[in-house]
Chain A
């Protein structure tokens, strides 16, 4: 994946055949965090905290639905195949949608794996489902990193330690 063009209207990325197919397959996995209820506080235990937490989880569920609706339309309209691969064109808000979607898949996969500290290796007794979530987590991280780090005309080499590539 490389950045072909960057302007006020947004970004145009070029993807190899395999990358385009992986991107389409990846987006279909969204959402993966739906089953995970989140906490709004680590210390508050009063009734207000419980109500706030309920509202937060409702809000996140609505947000996921909206992202799913937008992402389906976005890829259909903005990811085009050609003889040399695929082209993805996104504006600022569309890039935000993709970033959130990729990160949902990445974090959801991590939850499914039991929230390991070590993201690089799987235990020897891992299941097929674990292997799949491990691959999804890294694939989502790959596209996330590319969206945020690619600069016009160059493939960025430097990155913060611990980041995906």
Chain B
């Protein structure tokens, strides 16, 4: 049986340009919607569709998650975007917060 040499993997040199971008290093936040007994289910679905542009199926799924599990992590975003979404959701009077993802 002929000898087949093992393939040799040569590590690729890295340069300063290949380090992680500032965006990757910036802290990220979960935007969370919390359950309450006062917001109508149909209203919560409507708000998710409006704020995130989700279709009805996805919005209803997340709404049910809030209703049944007490909360739903809606998106993970940079601080600025998470803040924007919380402002939007709170404007509709949903109980939404941003929590550090790490």
A interface vs B, CB < 8 Å? 33, 38-44, 48, 52, 55-56, 59-60, 63, 96, 99-100, 103-104, 106-107, 110, 115-119, 137, 141, 144-145, 148-149, 159-164
Contact = CB atoms under 8 A, between A and B. Distances in A.
Contact of B38 (A41, A137, A161): A137
29 contacts: A38-B90, A39-B97, A41-B98, A42-B99, A43-B100, A44-B98, A44-B99, A44-B100, A52-B83, A52-B98, A55-B83, A56-B86, A56-B90, A59-B87, A60-B87, A103-B92, A103-B93, A106-B39, A107-B38, A115-B36, A116-B37, A119-B37, A137-B38, A145-B42, A148-B43, A148-B46, A160-B42, A163-B40, A164-B40
B91 interface: yes
B50 interface: yes
A56 B89 CA distance: 11
A159 B42 CA distance: 8
A33 to B, nearest CB: 7
A42 B90 contact: no
Nearest to A33: B93
A59 to B, nearest CB: 5
Contact of B50 (A41, A96, A106, A110): A96
B91 A40 contact: no
Nearest to B38: A110
Closest 10 CB pairs of A and B: A160-B41, A110-B38, A107-B93, A103-B93, A148-B42, A163-B40, A41-B97, A63-B91, A43-B99, A117-B37
Contact of A40 (B40, B86, B100): B86
A40 B46 contact: no
A59 B88 CA distance: 10
